[in-house]
Structure 1
Amino acid sequence: WAFVGGTALRFLYSIRRFSEDLDFSMVQAGRESGFDQAVSHVESSFKNEAYSVTVTSKSEKTVASAFLKFPGLLYEIGLSPMKSQVLSIKIEVDTNPPCGAVLESTLVRRHVTLHLMHYDRASLLAGKLHAILTRRYTKGRDVYDLVWYLADRSWPAPNVALLNSALAQTGWKGPVVTVDNWRRLIVERMKAINWANVNADVRPFLEHSAEADLITQENVLSVLRE
């Protein structure tokens, strides 16, 4: 599996927002994902460390997912006043990924040392643009991530081969995306969204909630200008 999504950005590049999910993509479509075995191993590992955990999982046509639930853990570590509150973590694997992704592997020291296989920077940006262009509603987290990507002038242009492959999978009716038109397509999307909803969605996920006030149409359109 290749690590993708918001949690990958946090582990690899220290983005200052939290995420609810651990998102992965199969390295090669059509191969056995090993998802059930991996989830079972994770569950056993937590139980061996004396954690109380329950796991529910399902495998659909293109996505395998599991919820790990830790009852009482937030109370035990002082993050919730309620013993009944449950910490839930979702693991999701795209078992039919679009073609065109470029993979990298990185050693990361994040509490422990991890060797992570993941999409390269251009492919991670392509995944975010796909989400923005195709979601029925725009998540504030997507817009925050977009600003985060584009504010780094060293970040490479999106992997348009991967982006077009992903768009084709999800029934995109718009034009073929190129290195010359992707910004215009995202600008059109940004002009059509509800900014109050964007702000409200992202604020609870930020290390510093005041950053949400910077996620405005004016600022987003500014970073989209080449």
Structure 2
Amino acid sequence: MISREKLRDMNKDSSLHMYQQEKDYLIKVFLFYYFRRYDSAIFKGGTCIRYLYETDRFSEDIDFNLTVEPNSFQNEVRKTLKEFEKIDIECGFIKEETFEDAYTADIWFYGPLHEGTEQTRNKFRIDAGKRGGTILDPRWVLIDSGYPETKEKFLVQTMDEYELLVEKVITMLTRSKGRDLYDIWYLLKSGTSIDVDLFQKKYHSLVNEGFLKDEISWESYLKKEEYERDMEKLAPKIVPYEQVKKEVEEHIEDLKKAFH
């Protein structure tokens, strides 16, 4: 396990506070151990976007699309967590559930900041499922990691950037959290565009599977207070709501006109 001193040294050049730095360490160690052995999960969501694009928006959970049945993935997760014993990190399940098309788990860890109490343990959540499927071929990419238990860079299997963006847009139109609006804005500013055909395939697939209504609520943007409340916990500097909303809306309007 990384020492507290080494973690603190790494934190000096980071925008994260120490608890977030420890969580980042635990997530990267999990990804390193998982993807060097398995390829049946496709990394996606906010944490994936953060690692691929080095955004300053912290993300606390790991999201995957599955290419195997959830109970098979459950076994892979458990075997991956066993690897933590080799680096003297205790861990266990706060909650674990397997469904017909999904797997979720909240996992606790006694990391370098643990001081013998539940209050000082860290945790993260895994959300994995098959709904909507993965339309574009996933890709293997290198992500940076300065932690001693991983390589300086290591491979993870991720969702294609266009599908990452489409999923985020669908999530924003159904869930509306500040982090979703920001992630969409960041991806658009990074040069990824919304693929209308891909959006239609993904959305209709979710409708056909019964996960979404047939009618889209195009106006379901969150309010400024909600955006700022969510982002103040996750980013050192908040890009103004008015700018983010305006620049995302321009692309959503184009999508709305083309969608059928």
TM-superposed deviation, 1:62: 2.4
User: What SS does structure 2 have at the residue aligned with 1:91?
Assistant: strand
Q: Give the 3 Å change call, closer, same or farther, for CA 100–2 of structure 1 in structure 2.
A: closer
In the other structure, the counterpart of 2:22 is none
Q: Which AA in structure 2 matches 1:39?
A: V
TM-superposed deviation, 1:100: 5.5
In the other structure, the counterpart of 2:99 is 60
Count of aligned pairs between the two proteins:
199
* Contact persistence 1:9–1:15 (CA under 8 A): yes
Q: Deviations over 1:73-98 (max 9, x none)?
A: 4346xxxxx8732211111211x331
CA RMSD in angstroms, aligned pairs only: 2.4
In the other structure, the counterpart of 1:47 is 85
Q: Deviations over 1:91-129 (max 9, x none)?
A: 1211x3314521232331421332222211111111111
Identical positions, percent: 21
Quick check: 1:110 aligned with 2:144? yes
In the other structure, the counterpart of 1:155 is 192
Tell me the TM-score normalized by structure 2: 0.68
In the other structure, the counterpart of 1:189 is 220
Tell me the TM-score normalized by structure 1: 0.77
Work out the CA distance in 2 between the residues paired with 1:5 and 1:126. 11
Q: Deviations over 1:44-80 (max 9, x none)?
A: 111121112122421023220122201464346xxxx
TM-superposed deviation, 1:145: 0.8
The 5 A counterparts of 1:61-76 are 61-71=100-110, 73-75=112-114
The 5 A counterparts of 1:1-226 are 1-27=41-67, 31=69, 34-55=72-93, 56-71=95-110, 73-75=112-114, 84-94=119-129, 96-99=130-133, 101-111=135-145, 112=151, 113-135=153-175, 138-152=176-190, 154-158=191-195, 159-160=198-199, 161-169=201-209, 170-174=211-215, 186=218, 188-190=219-221, 193-206=222-235, 208=236, 210-212=237-239, 214=240, 216-225=241-250
Work out the CA distance in 2 between the residues paired with 1:163 and 1:133. 11
Work out the CA distance in 1 between the residues paired with 2:207 and 2:157. 23
Q: Which AA in structure 1 matches 2:87?
A: E
TM-superposed deviation, 1:23: 0.6
Work out the CA distance in 1 between the residues paired with 2:249 and 2:167. 17
TM-superposed deviation, 1:21: 0.8
Work out the CA distance in 1 between the residues paired with 2:132 and 2:181. 22
Work out the CA distance in 2 between the residues paired with 1:13 and 1:37. 30
Work out the CA distance in 1 between the residues paired with 2:75 and 2:121. 24
Work out the CA distance in 1 between the residues paired with 2:48 and 2:225. 27
Work out the CA distance in 2 between the residues paired with 1:33 and 1:156. 35
Q: Give the 3 Å change call, closer, same or farther, for CA 221–51 of structure 1 in structure 2.
A: same
Runs (5+) with no aligned partner, structure 1 = 77-81, 176-184
* Contact persistence 2:142–2:155 (CA under 8 A): yes
Work out the CA distance in 1 between the residues paired with 2:162 and 2:71. 24
